[in-house]
Amino acid sequence: MDPKLRRMASALLALLLLLLGGMSSPFSPQAGLLEKVFRYMDLHQDEFVQTLKEWVAIESDSIQPVPHLRQELLRMMAVAAEELRRLGASVDLEDLGSQQLPDGQTLPIPPVILGELGNDPGKPTVCVYGHLDVQPATQADGWLTDPYTLTEVDGKLYGRGATDNKGPVLAWINAMSTFRALEEDLPVNIKFIIEGMEEAGSVALEELVRKEKDRFFSSVDYIVISDNLWVSQRRPALIYGTRGNCYFTVEVTCRDQDFHSGTFGGILQEPMADLVALLGSLTDSAGHILIPGIYDHVAPLTEEEKELYGAIDLDLEEYRNSSRVKKFLFDTKEEILMHLWRYPSLSIHGIEGAFDEPGTKTVIPGRVLGKFSIRLVPHMNMSVVEKQVQQYLQYIFSQRNSSNQMAVSMVLGLHPWIADIKDHQYLAAKRAIKTVFGTEPDMIRDGSTIPIAKIFQDIIQKSVLMLPLGAVDDGEHSQNEKINRWNYIEGSKLFAAFFLEVAQLHE
């Protein structure tokens, strides 16, 4: 379709949706304002895409501890801060110091942006969290295009960070800038907390939140996170829970030097054999975790929760095809969603010390380190899980009568999070979604871990909402990550509508 015709059709659809419902009255001032907002966004969508292209071009990789990448991260934070200042926001760049790495090098931690626009006591204050760091990406990894050059193909905007999380952060800024461009009063006070180390574990962020609890966060009414995906390609979603994560290493050591298999093969208890046996003992072929007691504290399934799974728009065949998986462990939508969201899972991630290069090196590793994690759900306790894992693996290892040394460590522990879907801002988000998309949202959880949600909930003790923009096939962290132009632009409209709905409910 011709771009002009597409924009006209989008504007007409937006007006129709406003007339059919969403705002309390089709002829209310809010409905008329939103129609102007939506029309402006349609007309200026290419500018919004251009800004995203400029942000994607910054290689803000927080995972690889390389000085030039850390400088790119610092540049990314400075660009975002300047964009907020351009809109009239006051911005502080909170210095978090430096990071000492295991090899002895020191790298600066990118500052956290604390931005604020508006302090009207008669308006609610919405605090938006986002991050601007990304996972590593090179075209050699299997990308069809340069990951740091935003490339549009059939309405899909490909680029590292497009959906995780630069696109959603910019969608909030697009909503703000549209009100400003139209010379309309922003219906809420808005605050931003934007970090640059989320992919690397949000280094020092919790300490900053604690420090700012009674200052920056003191006036906050609602906290919104847009760092997730829908479970569908076309139907929006609201997220009310995430799993936690306990990450473990299990090390098996014979000596600190490798062996030649021709000289020592057959007379050693090989560390790799011990490790493979240990890792293989963690789950059965159906994915059930074999560690005794691991399911004891999983919250029971209620009828109300069960009904939510039945209402979710998930085409299993489409989901399987887009995942490029022949067969899942479960056959029904409800079983798959429950095992993704409300039951724990265990995944094996890799082995250090093993020979994994091309070729036929006949080595017996003298020391190997296996890595696995358990996704936690409410009401599992991290310290209990840690103890259960250690005791179980010690028992399995003892059965092998190995002369090697074995050590289990939990190197990362992150709590699960769950929200009250009856909170005001969930209602506001539902209304905004109905206004923009003409449908009710899927009420879903996220099987991954977003630690900041639990941090905000526990420290600031305010309602936390997860309002995602991305489609299920966006491929965050993967090759060919993308965000659909439609999701990006309609998501910007959604955030503008959300501002108005929150203001209306707050009154």
Q: Is 8 helix (H, G, I), strand (E, B) or coil?
A: helix
Residue 281 burial (CB count, 10 A): 16
- Give the list of residues 6+ apart from residue 104 with CB closer than 8 angstroms, or none: none
CA pair distance 461, 455, nearest whole angstrom? 9
CA pair distance 165, 66, nearest whole angstrom? 21
Q: 73-90 burial, b if ≥16 CB within 10 A, otherwise e?
A: bbebbeebbebbeebebe
At 332, list the tokens: 């029904």
From the list 178, 161, 221, 197, the residue with the least C-alpha distance to 70 is 197
Residue 50 burial (CB count, 10 A): 12
From the list 166, 245, 246, 193, the residue with the least C-alpha distance to 460 is 193
Q: Per the residue annotation, which of 72, 133, 199, 227 is the catalytic one?
A: 133
Query: 395-403 long-range contacts, Cβ below 8 Å, gap at least 24?
Result: 396/277, 396/278, 396/281, 397/274, 397/278, 400/269, 400/274, 400/277, 402/252, 402/269, 402/274, 403/254, 403/269
Helices marked H in 224-376: 261-264, 271-280, 303-311, 316-323, 333-341
What is the distance between the terminal CA atoms of the chain, rounded to a whole angstrom? 42
Q: Per the residue annotation, which of 42, 61, 198, 212 is the catalytic one?
A: 198
CA pair distance 115, 154, nearest whole angstrom? 35
| 252 CA to centre of own chain | 33
> At which residue do the structure tokens 């709905």 appear?
501
> Could you confirm whether 501 is annotated as catalytic?
no
At 155, list the tokens: 């309405």
CA distances 466 to 430, 435, 463, Å, are: 12, 18, 10
Angle value at C-alpha 461, between 457 and 466, nearest 5 degrees: 40
DSSP characters over 414-439: E--EE--TTSHHHHHHHHHHHHHHSS
- Give the list of residues 6+ apart from residue 8 with CB closer than 8 angstroms, or none: none
CA pair distance 327, 324, nearest whole angstrom? 9
Contact present, 232 and 249 (Cβ < 8 Å)? no
> Could you confirm whether 507 is annotated as catalytic?
no
Torsion of CA 275, 384, 207, 68, to 10 degrees: 10
Which residues form the catalytic set? Answer: 133, 198
